[in-house]
Amino acid sequence: MKLFKGGVHPPQQKNTTEMKTVAMGVPSVVVIPMVQHLGAPCQPKVKRGDTVKVGQLIGDSEAYVSAPVHSSVSGTVTRVDNVVLSGNQPVMCVEIKPDGLQEVFEEIKPPAVDSRESFLSAIRASGLTGLGGAGFPAHVKLNPPKGTKVDTLIINGAECEPYITSDYRECIENTDGIVEGILHVLKWTGIEKAMIGIEDNKPEAIKALSQAVSDIPSITVHSLPARYPQGAEKTLIYALTGREVSSGKLPADVGCIVMNVTTASFVASYLKTGMPLIKKRVTIDGSAVKNPQNVEVLIGTPLREVFEFCGGFKSNPEKVVMGGPMMGVSQFSLDLPVLKHTNALLALDETQSRIPEGSACIRCARCVRACPMGLLPFELDRLVDAKKYEEAQKIHIMDCIECGCCVYACPAKRLMVQSIRIGKDYIRRNTKK
């Protein structure tokens, strides 16, 4: 094993580690966005007044880099319109009023897979995207460009963010499903081997998966030092293989594909049942939550109803975060929905959500030492503040993975990640054409 450079050690706060997953059931309404993935948005395939069933296709796109969207409930479409989500951009959404029957769509059946092509088609039809948080369409990831030789499938079980335990529960509760999904991917893509990486603060997950693959030579389990952001693609690849993904390159360029453990297990589930991606295990935690737990939630469920299922709030939530405290996104409304890649919802009280007042950079270089990408965060912060975007691009601002290590390490409490995001957004918008 290799140790990646940089990183930090935030408090783990894994309060829900031993809490078995509980199913929430059907909410009063679901709001299902047509964009829950990187790539082209889907176009709605239903209209107001239509009756839909569980697993029915309600949105799709002809674009290759996209992923279809399915109904998580049976009921009636009550609205098809733009809704402003947490990215502050209007997104077309389908609102459905459940009938409580949860009738399954008649065309749901296991896909016929007998070749690499049919396997990739099945993965696309399932609506699968990366379930670790990135939301990249799985069928695209599993189909690297021609001429690219991929020999290693990396399975990400690190779950290095504080609070989140949803992947850990997958490892414990669905060990065989993870292994089965990995074997399907290896078989149909022709990848030679798989390496499962899990942080050493999850010994039971390491034990369970090690036992499950003990007689499968093509799959190995590896214990990794607990250090954030161990689960980032590039750091995980380096830790397990020693290969470095250089600037502007993808994991496939060094012979690797990275999948989350829950993504792998869903592959097995879909090939067995034909039920597309309509639900997700979500860790509910934070200082304002009355009963933290791991909950199986139907996609499109309003955040408000998820927290109500967990007993509501024991104190006023000053901040609600989708994801972990390091890389998660603050939500402006509890009416926003759970998405495919939602792995945690945190409700934080005033003490935990307070943003400390920043001061001038003292050039201590702690942010440089903490950066796993080898960047100069303090300089990127300065250049963006001065609107010198071209200079920021020259020192690789686009390589920032927005992990937050720099901010965590900064004694001056500079909000460098926010500055870098502004700079990256400006560069993307002005280099598209």
Euclidean distance between the first and final Cα of the chain, in Å?
42
- Position 179 confidence tier, pLDDT thresholds 50, 70, 90: very high
Statement: residue 158 has pLDDT above 60: yes
432, pLDDT greater than 70 = no
Q: What is the pLDDT of residue 390?
A: 95
Report d(CA 59, CA 44) in Å as an integer: 4
Q: Say which residues have a Cβ less than 8 Å from residue 76's Cβ, sequence separation at least 6.
A: 49, 50, 51, 52, 96, 97, 99
pLDDT of residue 68: 97
Alpha-carbon dihedral sign for residues 285, 202, 405, 359: positive
pLDDT exceeds 60 at position 272? yes
pLDDT band at 307 (very low <50, low <70, confident <90, very high): very high
CATH number at 116-273: 3.40.50.11540
pLDDT given at position 62: 94
Q: Which helix (H) or strand (E) holds 154?
A: strand 152-156
Is residue 56 pLDDT above 80, yes or no?
A: yes
- The answer to whether residue 147 scores a pLDDT higher than 90 is no
Answer left, alpha or beta for residue 363, where phi above 0 means left and psi between -120 and 50 means alpha: left
Buried b (16+ CB within 10 A) or exposed e, 405-422: bbbbbbebebbbbebbee
86-133 pLDDT, tens per residue? 877 899 999 999 999 999 999 999 999 999 999 999 999 999 998 876
User: From the CB of residue 302, how many other CB atoms can be counted at a distance below 10 Å?
Assistant: 19
The dihedral sign for the CA sequence 134, 254, 227, 14: positive
Break the chain into its structural domains and give their ranges. 116-273, 366-429
| Environment class of 202 (CB within 10 Å of its CB; exposed 0-12, middle 13-18, buried 19+) | buried
Given a contact cutoff of 8 angstroms between Cβ atoms, the answer to whether 195 and 241 are in contact is yes
* Number of neighbouring beta carbons within 10 Å of residue 278: 20
Quote the mean pLDDT of the chain. Answer: 95
Is the Cβ–Cβ distance between 370 and 405 less than 8 Å? Answer: yes
What's residue 3's pLDDT? 84
Tens of pLDDT, residue by residue over 8-46, are 999 999 999 999 999 999 999 999 999 998 889 999 999
